[in-house]
């Protein structure tokens, strides 16, 4: 007769201990997941800042070619594949508004690349040199490049500021966690 009460007591203690361990494990996993997401978001922003700075540098170089006398067409494309890759892989790590704004700037860079490709194809096919239509296209391209450069340049400090604020917040949290 003494076996059953003792067994039930041991079973209930084991169940309670298992439940406590389960809750602690789930809590730790959620905390770790949130920490990983914050780390990924931070790395995403760092990589986006680098990629957009590279694009601004490419725009500067391209504007230098187009504004030279005589104007020449840059013989390279602005790297938008890196920006696309970072944005699409990190889409869940940014707000929808930020993603839309960054993706719009990526689209503008792609559009500039398309205009440059068109000018290259036109000049390669015609062999005549620069016609009036192409020179007008230069003006449109220069304005587009300057506008996009200005918009991306105004976006970068905001992204970097978010990085600095996020680093401070993570540093503050890590003091209490560790």
CATH value at residue 162: 1.20.1270
- C-alpha 145/C-alpha 62 separation (Å) is 8
- 121 inside domain: yes
CA 140 to chain centroid, in Å, comes to 28
pLDDT in tens, 66-81: 888 877 788 888 999 9
Helices and strands (H, E) in the chain, number of each type: 4, 0
Average confidence (pLDDT) over 137-145: 84
**Does 169 reside within a domain?**
yes
Tally of structural domains, the chain: 1
Q: Given the structure tokens 């230069």, which residue do they identify?
A: 138
Asked whether residue 72 is domain-assigned, the answer is yes
Q: Is residue 24 part of a domain?
A: no
- pTM for the model stands at 0.72
Measured CA to CA in angstroms, residue 41 lies from 2, 47, 99, 168, 170 at distances of: 59, 10, 12, 14, 12
Q: How many residues does the chain have?
A: 178
Q: Please state, in angstroms and rounded to a whole number, the distance separating the CA atoms of residues 158 and 55.
A: 17
pLDDT in tens, 75-126: 888 999 999 998 888 887 777 888 888 899 999 999 999 988 888 787 766 6
Classified as helix, coil or strand, 142 is helix
143 lies in which domain range?
A: 34-177
Is 143 a domain residue?
yes
Question: Which class for 175: exposed (0-12), middle (13-18), buried (19 or more C-beta within 10 A)?
Answer: exposed
Whether 128 maps to a domain, the answer reads yes
Q: With beta carbons less than 8 A apart as the criterion, state whether 156 and 52 touch.
A: yes
Q: Tell me: the pLDDT tens digits for 3-49? A: 778 888 889 999 999 999 999 999 999 999 989 888 888 888 888 88
């Amino acid at each position: 007769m003494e076996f059953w009460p003792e067994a039930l007591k041991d079973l209930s203690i084991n169940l309670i201990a298992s439940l406590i361990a389960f809750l602690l494990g789930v809590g730790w996993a959620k905390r770790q997941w949130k920490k990983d997401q914050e780390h990924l978001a931070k790395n995403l922003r760092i990589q986006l800042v680098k990629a957009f700075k590279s694009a601004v540098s490419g725009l500067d170089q391209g504007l230098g070619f187009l504004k030279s006398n005589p104007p020449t067409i840059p013989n390279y494309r602005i790297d938008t594949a890196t920006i696309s890759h970072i944005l699409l892989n990190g889409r869940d790590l940014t707000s929808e508004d930020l993603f839309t704004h960054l993706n719009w700037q990526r689209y503008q860079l792609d559009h500039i690349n398309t205009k440059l490709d068109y000018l290259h194809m036109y000049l390669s096919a015609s062999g005549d040199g620069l016609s009036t239509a192409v020179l007008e296209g230069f003006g449109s391209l220069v304005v587009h490049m300057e506008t996009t450069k200005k918009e991306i340049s105004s976006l970068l400090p905001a992204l970097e500021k978010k990085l600095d604020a996020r680093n401070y917040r993570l540093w503050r949290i890590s003091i209490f966690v560790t």
